[in-house]
Amino acid sequence: MTEQTGTGSTGTSPRVAIVTGGSRGIGRESAERLAADGFAVVVNFAGNQAAADETVGAITEAGGRAFAFRADVAEETEVAALFDAAESTYGGVDVVVHAAGVMTLAPLADTDLDALDRMHRTNIRGTFVVDQQAVRRLRTGGAILNFSSSVLALAIPGYAGYAATKGAVEAMTLILARELRGRDITVNAVAPGPTATALFLDGKDEETIARMAAQPPLERLGTPDDIAGVVSFLAGQAGRWVNGQVLRANGGIA
C-alpha cells in the first residue's frame, strides 16, 4: 500500500472516503467523483490490483489523493485492516461507499446454490461487515452509503437470488440509520436501475440490453457517472438531511 498524491494536494487534512469495489464500474466512478469533490480516497479491491491501480492513477493525475487496498469485504479482519490503513494514512474516515457486489442470474428453480452462497457472502455478509466497521470508526458528520438495486422493486424473473440479497441490504440500511441516532451519521442506500457496467452487461444479448434500455421514460441505460452523482450528493453537505432512505436512481423505471 502506497499513498499517491496528485499535484492539487494541499497540506490540510481532507475528508476521507473508503470506496469498496472501487476498481471498476460504479465503484470506480464514485471514487473518482469523491476525489474530485476533495475527499482523500481509499480504493478497496478484492483481486484486481491492476484495475485498482488504474483508478488510483486516474485520481492522482487529476490532482487528488488516493491509495489502493486489497480486502475481502466479507472478512472482518481484512476490513478492519482496510479501515486501519485509512486511519493511519489520512487520520480518520468520514464516508464509506460500499459498492462491492456480485450477481448471478438464473430462475430460482435453476439457481446453483454455491452461486447463491457467494452472493449471500459478498452482498449480505459483506455489507454487514463493512457497515459494522463503519459504525465503529466514522467521525461525526459522516455518511454510510450501501448499494441496493432497483430490480428488487421490479420483480424481474431470473433475479430472485440477487434481489433477495439486496432486500437484506435495504433492511440493514434502514435499521442502521435508526441505530445511529445521536451520532450525526447518515445511512442511505443507492438502488441503481439498469446501468452500463460489466456486472450488468455480462451474459446479456443486444436485444435484451436494448429492451431494458427502453424501459425508463428517459429511454437509456444509466451510466456509472449518473450513479456517482447520487453518491456525491449523499456524501456531501447537500445530502445531510437525507437519512434512512433508499434512493432509486433508475431514470424513472419504477
Whole-structure pTM value = 0.92
Residues sharing a CB contact under 8 Å with residue 150, sequence separation 6 or more, in sequence order: 191, 192, 193, 194, 248, 249, 250, 253, 254
Is-catalytic flag, 162?
yes
The DSSP symbol for 16 reads E
pLDDT in tens, 124-177: 999 999 999 999 999 999 999 999 999 998 888 999 999 999 999 999 999 999
**Contact status, residue 197 vs residue 25, Cβ threshold 8 Å:** yes
Break the chain into its structural domains and give their ranges. 15-193+224-247
Name the band, by pLDDT with cuts 50, 70 and 90, for residue 199.
Answer: low
pLDDT in tens, 70-96: 999 999 999 999 999 999 999 999 999
pLDDT in tens, 221-242: 889 999 999 999 999 999 999 9
Would the pLDDT of 198 be above 80?
no
Q: What is the pLDDT of residue 203?
A: 67
Per annotation, catalytic residue among 45, 67, 162, 200: 162
User: What is 15-193+224-247's CATH number?
Assistant: 3.40.50.720
CA distance 67 to 1: 7
Q: What is the pLDDT of residue 79?
A: 98
CA distance 206 to 201: 9
For residue 111 the three cell numbers come to 439457481
